[in-house]
Structure 1
Amino acid sequence: MSASRPLLLALALALGGAPAFAAPAPEAASGWTAKQAVHRREYMVVAAHPLAVAAGQAMLARGGSAVDAAIATQLVLNLVEPQSSGLGGGAFLLHWDAGRRTLSTLDGRETAPAAVDERLFLDADGQPLGFMAAVIGGRSVGVPGTPRLLEAAHRRWGRLPWAELFVPAIRLAREGFIVTPRLAGAIAAAGDFGNAAAQAYFHHADGTPLRAGERLVNAPLAATLEHLAAQGADAYYRGEIAADIVRTVQAAANPGRLSAADLAAYTVRERAPVCAPYRRWRVCGMGAPSSGGITLLQMLGMLEHFPPGDGSVDAVHRYTEAGRLAYADRNRYIADPDFVSVPLAGLLDPAYLAARAALIRPERSLGTAAAGTPPGAQAAASGRAADLPSTSQISIVDRDGNAVSMTTTIENGFGSRLLVDGFLLNNELTDFSFVPSVDGVAVANRVEAGKRPRSSMAPTLVFDADGRLSLVLGSPGGSAIINYVAKTLLGVLDCGLDMQQAIDLPNLGSRNGPTELEAGRGLEALGEALRARGHTVRFVEFNSGTHAIRRVGDGWEGGADPRREGIAAGE
């Protein structure tokens, strides 16, 4: 079948002719809402909540930049999607300056406090803690990076006054917003927050969780935002807000080691983008400490040795095998480059990727792939972290063609469950490997003071053969983010789908474990065909939240994931 045919139809035909993709049963948070690609000529905002998108649009309508719109969008997301991102978390931001034709990437990842060491998540017997025992409370809280990241981006690329960007979020926090089905479902699923402030905010006085359709006001967040609007990010990292954060973390039932000095010392890092060719495009992403961009480029570099994906069982098999090989390298080598030597050039070396691609056997799965030895690699042990899917994606293009792809997070749903001054604190330190070494060899992503935990966030920009911006995208989803973004890219670049069709494709892949297929998407026949090739197949409720923009002629085409409540809008 031609690679230009829609993958939905291609996979259906490859598996026997019946349409393979009935709409899935609603998932607990927000279900499935069918969406159409949105076309606009001037600018576009895609994010996880209509109120957040409206805030971003308002900034662009006033002549603001893509960064102005991203800041306003993020601040509203903190209010209306508090379980996923906010002032208590961190983010990675890609910025394209169309006039200067320059790509910049900012690292606003959380950092480990100065007082922690590699035993942070080990019990008295040296055994790893259970995940939720590590998450809830102050132990898991890293130094937040989002407020400082927003300020750094605004100083470089903002046009509107800083305080103006806060107006929509402050108004909504004061007046309240309507709780959506997704937020209500997340609150109900979370159970007891283990923190009096969070429990009271998300529940009624009788202990019952908030319901969809109810109005929620957050006066403490409004006050916090007013301080930030007037005083900049220093109002967060020094003074009363900082003292409140430290007090909350250290007084929690599972206390943490975050200090006022840790907050005051936080800095945003500018990192070099990671870019590589894929067929006739150039794909660019975030470098370490995010593994997202590197692992995505490894997958694409291997898949380029095969014909473009056409939705056949062969194509899905190759895709999942490339994922196994790339995730194996990710787990061994990628961590904070300020602490470990990440063999970036070796991981993306064409000859190395050709050798890795040659390991993909057409008729038999690798099962669990071994990490390779890329040029320049130093000895390291593979480590795993939970890397859970509570994150949000903001994709924006302004009227001058400047673009932002920003993936933002507090890690687990509702982060550490600690609410302070109206926002939730992250549990980002659980993205470190709980085990510091294996057989005497240090794990690259082990806990160390001042270190940034490895992430899978993959904000991505794609450029055509003439160097013009072609795609802006990213997704939440923990360690599955890489597969979500890869699937969407291949849907557009290999299969010629529009932006919404590519996002709608079933999520699938392997993170170097079982082959995971999205449940409720009619993929049972595909699962059986893969099992015949030795795959261990698992059907999973994949709650991606891919938000993407594609250049179409003289305008833009946006798509928002039907699995969440986001929209694409613009002028």
Structure 2
Amino acid sequence: MPAGVAAGHPATAEVGLRVLHAGGSAADAAVAAALAGCVAETLLTGISGGGFATYYDAASGAVTCLDFFCAVPGLDGDVSPGLMAPIEVVFGGVPMSYSIGAATVAVPGLPAGMGEVHRRWGRLPWHRIVAPAVNLARSGVVLPAAQARTLITIAPAMVPGFGADVYSPGGKLLEGGDLLFHPGLDVALAALGADGPDVYYTGWIGEQLVKTVRTGGGAIGPADLAAYRVLELPVEHAPLAGAGVFGRRDLNNTIPTIATLPNDLAAASAPERALALADALLNHGRQRVGDTTNISVVDFDGNACVITMTLGLGSGVWLPGLGVHLNSMLGEGELMTSELAPGERMPSMMCPLVVIDDDGELLIAAGSAGASRIRTALVHTLVNVLVKNSDMTAAIKQPRFHVVADPDGGPPVAHLEPGYPTDEVAALAAAGYQLRWWERMDHYFGGASAVGHAGAAGDPRRGGMGRLA
């Protein structure tokens, strides 16, 4: 099993690789890369967001899932949130509703999550893990062309307020190859390295977060931040092509979806396999706008750490002088239900996972970005590696389809990337799926990153990169 890193940006992957070569564990490298992603991939994530981690311990074969996703505010009970600001973003020509503003900001979990992953499985000192992100924040990073295309789609959430200075300097959206720079973000990350995650909860950054959110009409208070804790979750598993896939139960039921795939998938023809995948995905299909990124790491001892994290789309609210864009998780209406009370964790479709063979040996560490397309990207990637025997680069790059129910009650829709095999497309059409072709490979279809026996790769749909150590 090779050591390596796969992530959503070349700079993110490079940070993780350097930490591995410096003697860091998979957890050290994943946390360092995740924090670097909070600088290099701010269209997708940020230090005020949240997420999940899955860790595989090679010595014991144990798999652990941690929840550091965002929590519902309101424990202080002294304010009522104001109105959210509705916006519209367009995916694949389909307008989708969303909300931003201070009232959409949920209690962040990412600082606490990074601290907990490092506390449990890290080797190197904390300040060394945070330092690469601080350095990136001081210099800025190059924006990949794929992420520049994403910016065009989500600009309504990114450019309000201080975001205009970051993403649209001089009134012109950043393009691929431009420098992405967040003034003050180095200060916020340096405080994390010096004072630890508590600075974002009971320290001075936490105080500034409360003041900023409440000034704008949000509900986060000191009690919300002080009560936040990282949770350990039950681990589920499903068989696939003679191996076991392990991860958390997510909102889109990734592990149960894999469990419904036929046991003889490898013996099926390509069209039969496509139909089996489409039908399994359709049974749990959802649509969601928010965006995410993922880091997958395997170290030289065979341990693996996969971290998936998100900012939502971003609230358009920034911490003054710190370059920190606050999350907009409460603005994702599909994630909010009447049962969610203050202090409770919000649900999510993120599902960092590992694949283990019958002898307990690690085969793949993988995760994906893409909201409701996370499950789609993961299932396609795993089938490509385990059933089609593709190397990791080809497995992630191959065209995908994503199926959804027709909102008007018609036949289900299969969204297809260019180049998807014609015999499989014909099978989908014959089975009654409406076909909706996309003009090019697109970030809509997720952003997988994985390390395994088949190599390391990031998703070209989002400018990702994978590198073996």
TM-score normalized by the length of structure 2: 0.87
Map of 2:278 onto structure 1: 320
Counterpart position of 2:93? none
Is 1:266 aligned with 2:228? yes
Asked if 1:402 corresponds to 2:360, the answer is: no
CA drift at 1:474: 1.1
Conserved? CA contact 2:335–2:347, under 8 Å: no
* Cα drift, residue 305 of structure 1: 4.8
Which residues in structure 2 correspond to 1:474-489 (within 5 Å)? 474-489=367-382
Asked which structure has the greater CA Rg, the reply is: 1
Relative to 1, partners in 2 of residues 1:281 and 1:411: Cα closer, same or farther, differing over 3 Å?
A: same
1:481–1:222 Cα change, 3 Å: same
1:499 positional shift: 1.6
Q: Distance in 1 between matches of 2:181 and 2:303?
A: 34
Report the Cα offset of residue 409 of structure 1.
0.8
Q: 1:129 to 1:116 in 2, by over 3 A?
A: farther
Partner of 1:343: none
Q: Tell me the alpha carbon deviations over residues 198-229 of structure 1, each in whole angstroms, 9 at most, x when there is no partner.
A: 2222222x322234333344341101111111
Structure 2 residue matching 1:456: 3-state secondary structure: coil
Equivalent-residue separation in structure 1 for 2:83 and 2:214 (angstroms) = 19
- Whole-angstrom distance in 2 between the partners of 1:86 and 1:434: 19
Residue of structure 1 equivalent to 2:162: 197
SS of the residue 2:17 aligns to: helix
1:303 matched to 2:261? The reply is yes
Are 1:418 and 2:418 an aligned pair? Answer: no
Question: Residues 207-226 of structure 1 correspond to what in structure 2 (within 5 A)?
Answer: 207-226=171-190
Amino acid at match of 2:56: W
Paired residues, what number? 448
> What is the percent sequence identity of the aligned residues?
30
TM-score when normalising by structure 1: 0.72
Amino acid at match of 1:94: T
* SS across alignment from 1:257: coil
1:106 paired with 2:106, answer no
1:134 to 1:485, Cα distance in 2 relative to 1, 3 A: closer
Moved over 6 A (4+): 120-124, 128-133
The corresponding residue for 1:544 is 446
Residues 453 and 403 (structure 1 numbering): CA distance in 2 closer, same or farther, change over 3 Å? same
Hey, what's the Cα distance between the residues in 2 that align with 1:147 and 1:92?
12
- The answer (yes or no) to whether the contact 1:67–1:157 under 8 Å persists in 2 is yes
Q: Contact 2:30 / 2:295 at 8 angstroms: preserved in 1?
A: yes
Q: 1:495-534 maps to which residues of 2 (within 5 A)? A: 495-513=388-406, 514-522=412-420, 526-527=424-425, 529-534=427-432
1:569 pairs with 2:467: yes
Give 2:409's aligned residue: none
Between the aligned partners of 2:160 and 2:310, the Cα distance in structure 1 is: 20
**Residues 536 and 259 (structure 1), Cα distance of their counterparts in 2 relative to 1, 3 Å cut:** same
Moved more, 497-506 or 395-404: 497-506
Q: For 1:325 and 1:215, how far apart are their aligned partners in 2?
A: 42
Query: In the alignment, does 2:41 pair up with 1:81?
Result: yes
Structure 1 gaps of 5+ residues are: 1-40, 328-383, 437-442
Which consecutive unaligned segments of at least 5 residues does structure 2 have? 90-96, 407-411
Q: Deviations over 1:31-52 (max 9, x none)?
A: xxxxxxxxxx752011111111
Q: Which residue identity lines up with residue 238 of structure 1 in the other structure? A: T
Deviation per CA, 1:157-216, whole angstroms, max 9, x where unpaired?
A: 111100011221111211232333234334444445464222222222x32223433334
Correspondence list, 1:160-309, <5 A: 160-191=124-155, 193=158, 195-204=160-169, 206-252=170-216, 255-287=217-249, 290-292=250-252, 295-305=253-263, 307-308=265-266
Distance 1:216 1:322 in 2: 39
Structure-2 separation of matches of 1:215 and 1:498: 32
Offset, 1:83: 1.0
1:492 is displaced (CA, Å) by 1.7
Cα distance in 1 between the residues matched to 2:323 and 2:281: 39
- Partner letter of residue 259 of structure 2? G
CA shift in 2, pair 1:251/1:123, >3 Å: closer
Mapping 1:61-72, distance limit 5 Å: 61-72=21-32
Distance 1:250 1:94, change over 3 A: same
Do structure 1's residue 462 and structure 2's residue 355 form an aligned pair? yes
Query: How far did 1:309 drift?
Result: 6.5
Counterpart in 2 of 1:345? none
Query: Which of 181-190 and 70-79 deviates more?
Result: 181-190
Q: Alignment partner of 1:54: what SS?
A: helix
C-alpha separation in 2, matches of 1:523 and 1:279: 22
Give the aligned residue type for 1:417. G
SS of alignment partner, residue 46 of structure 1: strand
Contact conserved, 2:290 with 2:332, CA < 8 A, in 1? Answer: no
CA deviation string 1:214-268 (max 9, x = no partner): 334434110111111111001111232112222322233xx32111221121110
The answer to whether the 8 A contact 1:309-1:490 is kept is no
Deviations 1:317-376 (A, max 9, x none): 22211222244xxxxxxxxxxxxxxxxxxxxxxxxxxxxxxxxxxxxxxxxxxxxxxxxx
Structural RMSD (CA): 2.8
